Amino acid sequence: MTFATLGLIEPLQRALETLGYQTPTPVQAQAIPAVLAGRDLMAAAQTGTGKTAAFAVPLLQLLTMEGPKVVANSARALILCPTRELAEQVHASVAEYAQNLPLTTYAVYGGVSINPQMMKLRKGVDVLVATPGRLIDLFRQNALKLNQLQTLVLDEADRMLDLGFSEELANIYRMLPKKRQTLLFSATFSDEIRTLAGQMLNDPLSIEVSPRNVAANTVKQWVVPVDKKRKPELFVHLMRKGRWKQVLVFAKTRNGVDALVDKLQGLGINADGIHGDKPQATRQRALDRFKSSDVQILVATDVAARGLDIEDLPLVVNFDLPIVAEDYIHRIGRTGRAGNTGEAISLVCADEVNMLSAIEMLTRQTLTRHMEQDFEPEHRVPDTDASGQVVKKPKKPKKPKASGGGGKRNLGKWVDSGEVAPAEPSIKPVRKVPVFNTGPRKKK
């Protein structure tokens, strides 16, 4: 199968050829003809499957072939993304695909001044990529009208709900023309997403290119059990031993990112960090320097790293496991992309056993454990498996207390190696599903 057989026009074929895309990926093979035929789409596809081109390429063709020219302060297609970084990245891809077409594209997101964005929108843009909050701001300030909108794309819809954008999505829904095409992409398909799809889509075609909630099988995954306090030391040890050249590292918190970056920089290692507290320009610069290999280790929180596409990234390290198991799939999806193989290593301490178990249950696999010599944990990480069971060793009977003596004696704390500190609560953000006013909607 080629892009020509999918019915793409010559300028798009040429752009894809320039980018080295020879054959359509499975999600592209299914989505492109359906979108060209005007269908709504509900696609379960993880990052790395080529999903961006799957929606962007046919959308660009429809905009080129049909519809009036864009008018002032309007957009003909809107792509909603959960984070600024993803919006930038999607926009960069859209601009590449559109390089031979007479279409304008632009990205808007928060964290930067709104004025230049308002100026840019004056003439209207054919394809607008946006994060939900900034889109609403622009709409409320009359910088953007959506009457001319013909296609809406919800990219990484699950993440938008995870990040609490359900209210914003409900607001945006009310601004949209009823007659439009809607394409919903989500890495994983929870029941909330299915409800959202039921409200927003019109007779959608369902596409599922990888089994539901199964992690990319091009990624070799393993776990190294370790005591929490020794994680930084183990990381440096593994890095030196494996001669790691380019690694994306995930830490749970912003402080965790800063602490690890400080530690690595203190050892003369070329590391930088991205998280939500850093200004957008700093985040983008760190990311660009990592992509161009000027930075060797990039430490990130989940939100900052969502959906990033870094070519040929060989390795992802989970310095901490994610609290939400589905984030594990997104994290390891940064490697093993577009047919390459990758590796994902998780440093797991006893506190994280419940998270490990949730990940194994979600991905339906028991992750291989490798004990690193000299880093064997004092607090054993209990066995886990894909059934979601945490296998705890039976408790040893307590030693009888020494009797008599009267005075207090500190016998030291007796720790059963099978006992673990209480696991951190597996907090799953409450996802509110917006209630939409779904009147009858004409099909395009």
**Running DSSP on this structure, what letter comes out for residue 228?**
G
Examine residue 21 and tell whether it contacts ligand AMP (CB under 6 A): yes
83 within 8 A of 303, measured Cβ to Cβ: yes
Query: In 395-405, which positions are buried (b, 16+ CB within 10 angstroms) versus exposed (e)?
Result: eeeeeeeeeee
State which residue, 8 or 355, has the beta carbon closest to ligand AMP.
8
Cα–Cα dist 365/215, whole Å: 9
Please choose, out of 49-57, 130-138, 178-186, 415-423, the segment that lies near ligand AMP by the rule CB under 6 A.
49-57
CB of 221 to ligand AMP, least distance (A): 19
Query: Does the protein bind ligand AMP through residue 58 (CB under 6 A)?
Result: no
Which of 8, 12, 15, 24: binder of ligand AMP (CB under 6 A)? 24
Asked whether position 338 contacts ligand AMP by CB under 6 A, the answer is: yes
- Give the span between the Cα atoms of 87 and 95, in whole angstroms: 12
Q: Which amino acid is at 105?
A: T
Residue closer to ligand AMP (CB basis): 214 or 338: 338
Residue 216 per-residue DSSP state:
P
Q: Which of the 8 DSSP states describes residue 99?
A: T
What φ, ψ does residue 79 adopt, rounded to 5°? Answer: -115, 115
Does residue 210 interact with ligand AMP by CB under 6 A?
no
Site string for ligand AMP, 109-148 (x = CB under 6 A): ----------------------------------------
Closest approach, Cβ 14 to ligand AMP, in A, equals 14
Asked if 48 touches ligand AMP (CB under 6 A), the answer is yes
Q: Which is nearer to ligand AMP, 259 or 338 (CB)?
A: 338
Regarding 105 and contact with ligand AMP (CB under 6 A), the answer is no
Binding window for ligand AMP (CB under 6 A); candidates: 35-43, 50-58, 172-180, 279-287:
50-58
> If binding is defined by CB under 6 A, does position 155 make contact with ligand AMP?
no
Part of the chain binding ligand AMP (CB under 6 A), chosen from 47-55, 169-177, 238-246, 317-325 = 47-55
Interacting stretch for ligand AMP, rule CB under 6 A, among 23-31, 58-66, 109-117, 171-179?
A: 23-31
Under the binding rule (CB under 6 A), the answer on residue 53 touching ligand AMP is: yes
Instruction: Pick from 76, 230, 337, 380 the residue near ligand AMP by CB under 6 A.
Output: 337
Binder among 6, 8, 15, 25 for ligand AMP (CB under 6 A)? 25
Helix (H) or strand (E) run with residue 222 in it: strand 219-225
Q: Is 176 in the site for ligand AMP (CB under 6 A)?
A: no
Which bin fits 421, alpha (ψ -120 to 50), beta or left (φ > 0)? Answer: beta
Q: Where are the alpha helices (DSSP H) in 112-190?
A: 115-121, 132-140, 157-162, 166-175
Write the CB contacts of 312 (distance below 8 Å, at least 6 apart in sequence): 337, 340
Record the tokens describing residue 414, joined without a space.
């007796």
Q: Is residue 186 involved in binding ligand AMP (CB under 6 A)?
A: no
Is residue 321 within 8 Å of 350, Cβ to Cβ? no
Q: Which residues contact 101 (CB under 8 A, 6 or more apart)?
A: 11, 12, 60, 64
d(CA 43, CA 182): 11
82 binds ligand AMP (CB under 6 A): no
What is the residue whose two structure tokens read 């492109």? Answer: 32
Q: List the one residue out of 14, 17, 41, 16 whose CA is nearest residue 27.
A: 41
By CB under 6 A, residue 51 contacts ligand AMP? yes
Token code pair at residue 28 = 């592209």
Please tell me whether residue 49 binds ligand AMP under the rule CB under 6 A.
yes
**Does position 181 bind ligand AMP by CB under 6 A?**
no
Candidate residues 155, 168, 309, 360; the one interacting with ligand AMP per rule CB under 6 A: 309
Q: How far is the CB of 28 from ligand AMP (least distance, A)?
A: 6
Binding of ligand AMP by 50 (CB under 6 A): yes
Nearest to 339 by CA among 25, 62, 65: 25
Residue 342 in contact with ligand AMP, rule: CB under 6 A: no
d(CA 414, CA 399): 9
Q: Using CB under 6 A as the criterion, which residues of the chain lie in contact with ligand AMP when the complex forms?
A: 21, 24-25, 28, 47-53, 309, 311, 337-338
